A and B are shown apart, each in its own frame.
Chain A
Amino acid sequence: EAQVTQNPRYLITVTGKKLTVTCSQNMNHEYMSWYRQDPGLGLRQIYYSMNVEVTDKGDVPEGYKVSRKEKRNFPLILESPSPNQTSLYFCASSSAGTYTDTQYFGPGTRLTVL
């Protein structure tokens, strides 16, 4: 089954404790992206990747890191989480690496930083 998976689905942590949210897709997609979703603000893009070893900042990259060492994986790293990073996070992927393609979303990770 074609899908985007994220782990963990739920995470409660404390300020400053480094964490990684994994994202993996099995569709051989070139383009992958991370979003956060907050009430009233919609989905905001954090980082995106056009292909292996190619990443770029979205609209809200501060406090986040990403890497793209393999085509299928695109982990999101919070080196020192803060309470304002409490949010619902989605990973997405699309084929051909262009803006015209439909993005397929993972199930989401609900993160709470205390």
Chain B
Amino acid sequence: QKEVEQNSGPLSVPEGAIASLNCTYSDRGSQSFFWYRQYSGKSPELIMFIYSNGDKEDGRFTAQLNKASQYVSLLIRDSQPSDSATYLCAVGGQTGGFKTIFGAGTRLFVKA
């Protein structure tokens, strides 16, 4: 069983819509959660991080964390074609270690 799971997609949404990206993780001891965006051929860049249950908003992006359900999501409001990329969920602070585990990523296409 993969430790961090994401839908591979592709997820296709029209411009201006809300894109919803989901991620589940297996280690209940995980303490930090990150969303990275990766354009094709480029390196990952951080969009948001979240440590506590609930929602965290930053501009058009909202991260949601539910530790009881071991679930983290990223909402992108007013999606733009420039948001088309692969979104990587990463989980850190696993029990007893300092590793960061990444999901395989979800490809998002925003149609103009």
Contacts and interface: CB of A to CB of B under 8 A. Distances in A.
Interface in B10-53: 31-32, 34, 42-46, 49, 51
A97 to B, nearest CB: 8
A44 B94 CA distance: 15
A90 B45 CA distance: 12
A33 B93 CA distance: 15
B98 A48 contact: yes
Interface size range on A against B? 20 to 34
Contacts of B46: 102-103
Contacts of A42: 4, 88, 102-105
A43 B105 CA distance: 9
A103 B8 CA distance: 23
A44 B98 contact: no
Contacts of A105: 43-45
A103 B88 CA distance: 13
A50 interface: yes
Contacts of B90: 43
Interface string A31-47: 10101000011111100
Interface of B: 4, 8, 31-32, 34, 42-46, 49, 51, 88, 90, 92-94, 98-105
18 contacts: A35-B102, A40-B104, A42-B4, A42-B103, A43-B102, A45-B100, A45-B102, A58-B99, A97-B98, A99-B31, A99-B32, A99-B98, A99-B99, A100-B32, A100-B51, A102-B46, A105-B43, A106-B43
